[in-house]
Amino acid sequence: ALSASSGKGDLHFIQTKSGHLQLIHEPYIFVTDSVRSGRTFWRCMDYAKRCRARITSKNNVLKVTNAVHNHVENHLQKITRKYELGEGRSVRVAYSDGAFFAVEFVISNRGRRHMRLGGFSFYMEKVFPEKSKVRWRCTRRTCRAYAHTLHDRIFALSNVHSHEPPSAQAQRALCQAAFAAQSVQAKNLVRLSVGPGGRPRLWVRGRSFYAAHTMRSGIVRWRCTMGGCGCKAYTQKGTLHKLVGEHNHIGRCGRRAAKPPSKPCPTPLLVPRLPTLDFHNFDPNAWVVPLPY
C-alpha cells in the first residue's frame, strides 16, 4: 500500500566513505535511486530485501510516497554510530504540506526536562552523557513514539503516536507558565539571597521561595516559604524557567495577612542587609552556611 506524508524540520544526511549522501528519515536510511528533472528519488537501503519504502525530494521539498517498510529491523544503530563519528550533517528543509513542528525543551511540573514536538511531550528515557546523546520517549505510557537527540538535535524520530495531542487548555496553561517566567526574568524581578540558616532564598516579584529539591540535571525546584502555598518555581543555570500556581497569601515572605495590632508597633531594630548571591553562577549543591554578623 502506498501512502503520502510530509512535515517540516531538519533534513539529515550521513556521508559514505565514497562521498555519497544517504538520507535519514525516522530511524531508516535511504539511498539515491535516481535523479530526474531536478527531483531526487530515494529508496530504503534494504531495497535488496524487496523493501518498497520511497521518498522524493526537489528544491528542499520532501515528500514520503511510501512509508511502509517490510522489515522490522531499523537502521538506528548505524545512524548513531555515524553521528558519533561526526559523519552526520543536517540542512533546513521545507516540506510539501507546509506543516511545522517546532522542537523546544521545557520544564515539566515536576521539574524534569521535557522535549515538545508537534504538541506532544517526550521525557528522557536514557541519557548518555559521555556522548551528549539522549533517548526520548512519549510521556503517554502506552505510546511507543520515541526520538533520539545528539547535542539537542534530533537525528532519529518515530513520531507516530497512539493518541491525540494534549488539549488546547493544557497547551495554554503550559505557555502561560513559561511566559510568566520569561516576563519576570526580563524585568529583573528575580534575585537570590542568603536566607535564615545560611540557606539560599529565591525572590520572585517580592515573594520568597526555598530550594525544595535539586535534580541531577541542575534544575532546582523552589517552593513558596509560606506553609500551605502551592506556588512553585523552577530554575536552571541562573534562569527562571517556570512559575506554577498562584500565591494564597498576602505577605511577601511566608506570612499570612494578620489582624491590625491593638498596640503601636515598637521601633524596628536596624538589621544588616543580607548579602546577595551570584544568581548566574549559583551552585545549589554548595550552599553558604555561615551568616555574616
DSSP string, the chain: ----B---EEEEEEE-TTS-EEEEETTEEEEEEEEETTEEEEEETTGGGT---EEEEETTEEEEEE---S-S--SHHHHHHHHHTT-EEEEEEEETT-----EEEEE-TTS-EEEEETTEEEEEEEEETTTTEEEEEESSTT---EEEEETTEEEEEE---SSPPPPHHHHHHHHHHHHHHHHHHHTT-EEEEE-GGG-EEEEETTEEEEEEEE-TTS-EEEEESSTT---EEEEETTEEEEEES----SSSSS----PPPSSPPPPPP--PPPPBP-STT--TTS-------
279, 191 contact by CB (below 8 A): yes
Q: What is the pLDDT of residue 243?
A: 78
pLDDT at position 274: 44
Task: Give the residue carrying C-alpha cell 537501503.
Answer: 45
pLDDT of amino acid 269: 45
Distance separating alpha carbons of residues 184 and 164, to the nearest angstrom: 33
257 pLDDT band, cuts 50/70/90, is very low
Q: Which residue has the cell 531536478?
A: 38
pLDDT in tens, 49-82: 889 899 888 766 778 888 888 887 777 666 666 5
CB atoms under 10 Å from CB of 124, counted, come to: 15
Is the pLDDT score of 235 beyond 70? yes
pLDDT given for residue 170 in this prediction = 56
Q: What's the angle, vertex CA 117, arms to CA 51 and CA 93, rounded to 5?
A: 60
Q: What is the mean pLDDT of the segment spanning 179-200?
A: 67
Q: Looking at per-residue confidence, does 258 or 197 come out higher?
A: 197
pLDDT value at 227 more than 70 = yes
Closest CA to 204 of 177, 185, 176, 226: 185
Q: What is the pLDDT of residue 233?
A: 86
pLDDT-derived band at 9 (thresholds 50, 70, 90) equals: very low
The amino acid present at 192, given as its one-letter code, is: L
| For residue 224, pLDDT beyond 50 | yes
pLDDT grade for 19, boundaries at 50, 70 and 90: low
List of residues 6+ apart from 114 with CB closer than 8 A = 105, 106, 107, 108, 121, 122, 123, 139
pLDDT surpasses 70 at 44: yes
The pTM of this model reads: 0.38
CATH domain 103-166 topology: N-terminal domain of TfIIb (2.20.25)
The pLDDT-based confidence of 258 (bands split at 50, 70, 90) is very low
CATH number attached to the domain at 167-255+273-288? 2.20.25.240
Domain ranges in the chain? Answer: 9-95, 103-166, 167-255+273-288
Q: Look up residue 194 and give its three cell numbers.
A: 542568603
177: confidence class by pLDDT, cuts 50, 70, 90? low
Task: Domain 9-95: give its CATH code.
Answer: 2.20.25.240
Domain 103-166 identical in fold to domain 167-255+273-288? yes
Residue listed under C-alpha cell 498596640: 263
Starting at the edge strand that comes first in sequence, how are the strands of the sheet with 103-107 ordered? 103-107, 113-117, 120-128, 133-138, 146-150, 153-158
